[in-house]
Chains A and B, each alone.
Chain A
Amino acid sequence: MRSLIGFIRRNVRDIHYVYNTLVSVNFTGTLLAIAVIALTLTIPSIFYVFMQNFKESTSDLTIGRNITIYLKNDVDSVVAFQIKDDLQSDDRIKSAELITKDDGLKSFASSMGISEHEVMGNAENPLPHAVVLIPSEEVEASTENLDLLVKEIKNNKYVEMVRVDRDWFKRINSITDAMRYITAVIAAILLLSLVFTLINTVSNRVLLHRNEIEVMKLVGATDLYIIRPYVYLGMWLGFLGCFVSWWLGTIVIFSTERYLNHVAEAYGTHIIFRGLNFRELLMMFVMSTVMCMLVSFISARSSINGIRPQ
């Protein structure tokens, strides 16, 4: 208990020390470091949010994402209903709708603006029964799964033809993939710049306190004791940088919403923007704080190792 109280007191003292010596001594430098961290986190997080919103918006667009199954001409409506029910019960399929040959003819005639009798006369309806499927999100997200589903359907002896609008899938997937890749590359580059900035900031602070560190070493302070305030500095920089980034990102996202919706309207859709949810935000804070602590630890350790008391 005593050691726990000692531990807490020591850490509170260190945090106080961080403010008094590492932050207030070079306040402008600290603000600049926070600004760099904030900008570094803001850009990938904006990309991420745009990507998430784009994905959610396009998930509503079902037209063209359907799989149309044309049954053989000799398949009667009882079998057609059976096939539709079988497909409906498959987990990989979100919904299945049967369009009978009569419905098909009615729809065709209606689109031509004439009656069914005028289309066919006394001839027999040549249209097959068709089943329109909307695949599940898992299948939709993977070309391989989609191919497998189509292959299985094609193997059914009652099926004449299966039509998939692959271009649409491919377009959506390739846009999403490209955005994901660009986000990852930008995040990696900016992360690297963040690491270098932080290393530079912490190394400068260590050099600024060189004499103090020498004295600490002479009176018997361990490296971990000397490093601790710098790790706290990293923790605060990471946390505050993330906090600023969160607000900056929110402002950017919602200020561009109007302009992006102009574009979306041209495609007959509307995008409702949402920022980072609680889980994503928490993850961003934890990642930023932990990463900055880790980089500060490594940087401080290597700088402090190089200081030898005289």
Chain B
Amino acid sequence: MIEFKSVSKIYQQGQIALQNISFKVNPGEFVYLTGHSGAGKTSLLQLIAVIERASIGQILFNEQDITDISLKNIPFLRRRIGMIFQDHHLMMNRTVAENVALPLLIRDYTEEESMDLVRQVLDKVGLRHKEEYYPYCLSTGEQQRVGIARAIVAHPDVILADEPTGNLDKGLSLDILDLFEMLHQDGTTVIMASHDIDLLATKPHRTLVLNRGHLVYDGEFSQFR
């Protein structure tokens, strides 16, 4: 599904974010990406979504080389990825339903088709009753659920979650993790970046540990601890 082959990322200022990273994520896997702040977790996820480009190495997505993917093909790659962020990236001037429907509308779904799928997915994240609300009327945890609903509504091949529980308390974080677990059970590939080791310990999975841009561990969570 996703394969990194000796990938390095060096920013223009000379700062090395990732160095010689190699790993492979198989379809349907749930992978944690952890490490201290500045370890390179976000950079790694950004390389998969081509928000940033690799300086050295090769990245494969579904066996397609995306290292030098052309600008016009990037949107079509991103449609196969559901992205979830710590700060949700929601449109505050659109309702919950409109936010969730966005990935469908850009794929030319009709309003009716979109709304059917949006309601299904809002049911899944427990926000069906708030579809007409604006995001600023929701709690942080609910906003994150909207972000998750938007990421999964178009059935992407993989979900990339960058510190999705960063702003949430323990209880809400566990709820969100349960949601990812549910998606994983449905067969979706999930890569979740988090520095919260205690949270990850509640539902252990394969874990990649980054330290100052180096991949220092790739294995089962229990052995890492």
Which residues of chain A have a CB within 8 Å of any CB of chain B? 3, 6, 9-10, 13, 21, 25, 211-212, 214-223, 225, 308-310
**Main SS class of interface, A:** helix
Contact status B108-A221, CB under 8 Å: no
> What are the residues of chain B within 8 A of A220 when measuring CB–CB?
75-79, 81, 103, 106-107
* B93 adjacent to chain A (CB < 8 Å): yes
Given A211-B91, A308-B51, is A219 in contact with B108 using a C-beta cutoff of 8 Å?
A: no
Q: With A and B bound together, what is the CA distance between A201 and B107 in angstroms?
A: 29
B150 to chain A, nearest CB (A): 7
Contact status B51-A10, CB under 8 Å: no
Contact status B76-A218, CB under 8 Å: no
> What are the residues of chain B within 8 A of A309 when measuring CB–CB?
51
B38 to chain A, nearest CB (A): 16
Chain B 94-135 per-residue mask, 1 if CB under 8 angstroms from chain A, else 0: 000000001101111011000000000000000000000000
Contact status B90-A215, CB under 8 Å: yes
Contact status B91-A215, CB under 8 Å: yes
Contact status A221-B75, CB under 8 Å: yes
Pick from B79, B102, B106, B110: contact of A9, CB under 8 Å: B110
A218 to chain B, nearest CB (A): 6
Pick from B91, B93, B106: contact of A221, CB under 8 Å: B106
Q: With A and B bound together, what is the CA distance between A220 and B153 in angstroms?
A: 13
Offer 10 A-B interface pairs, CB within 8 angstroms, sorted by A.
Answer: A3-B108, A10-B108, A217-B75, A218-B51, A219-B78, A220-B77, A220-B103, A220-B107, A222-B72, A222-B75
* B49 adjacent to chain A (CB < 8 Å): yes
Q: With A and B bound together, what is the CA distance between A90 and B95 in angstroms?
A: 76
> What are the residues of chain B within 8 A of A13 when measuring CB–CB?
105, 111
> What are the residues of chain A within 8 A of B106 when measuring CB–CB?
216, 219-222, 225
Q: With A and B bound together, what is the CA distance between A25 and B78 in angstroms?
A: 29
Q: With A and B bound together, what is the CA distance between A215 and B88 in angstroms?
A: 10
CB-CB nearest in chain A for B89: A215
Which residues of chain B have a CB within 8 Å of any CB of chain A? 49, 51, 72, 75-79, 81, 83, 89-91, 93, 102-103, 105-108, 110-111, 150
Pick from B76, B90, B102, B111: contact of A216, CB under 8 Å: B102
The 9 closest A-B CB pairs, nearest first, are A220-B79, A220-B78, A221-B106, A219-B103, A222-B75, A220-B75, A215-B89, A212-B91, A6-B108
Q: With A and B bound together, what is the CA distance between A3 and B108 in angstroms?
A: 9
> What are the residues of chain A within 8 A of B83 when measuring CB–CB?
218-219
> What are the residues of chain B within 8 A of A219 when measuring CB–CB?
78-79, 83, 102-103, 106, 150
CB-CB nearest in chain B for A310: B51
B83 to chain A, nearest CB (A): 6
> What are the residues of chain B within 8 A of A218 when measuring CB–CB?
49, 51, 78, 83, 89
Given A212-B91, A219-B102, A219-B103, is A6 in contact with B78 using a C-beta cutoff of 8 Å?
A: no
> What are the residues of chain A within 8 A of B77 when measuring CB–CB?
220
CB-CB nearest in chain A for B78: A220
Q: With A and B bound together, what is the CA distance between A161 and B102 in angstroms?
A: 84
A22 to chain B, nearest CB (A): 11
CB-CB nearest in chain A for B112: A9
> What are the residues of chain A within 8 A of B76 when measuring CB–CB?
220
B85 to chain A, nearest CB (A): 8
- Give the most central of B107, B108, B111: most A CB within 10 Å: B108
> What are the residues of chain A within 8 A of B105 when measuring CB–CB?
10, 13
Contact status B111-A9, CB under 8 Å: yes
B78 to chain A, nearest CB (A): 4
CB-CB nearest in chain B for A7: B108
Known: A21-B93, A212-B93, A219-B103. 11 other contacts (CB 8 A): A3-B108, A13-B111, A215-B91, A215-B102, A217-B78, A219-B78, A219-B102, A219-B106, A220-B79, A220-B81, A221-B75
> What are the residues of chain B within 8 A of A21 when measuring CB–CB?
93
Q: With A and B bound together, what is the CA distance between A10 and B107 in angstroms?
A: 11
B197 to chain A, nearest CB (A): 26
Q: With A and B bound together, what is the CA distance between A194 and B187 in angstroms?
A: 55
- Give the most central of A215, A220, A309: most B CB within 10 Å: A220
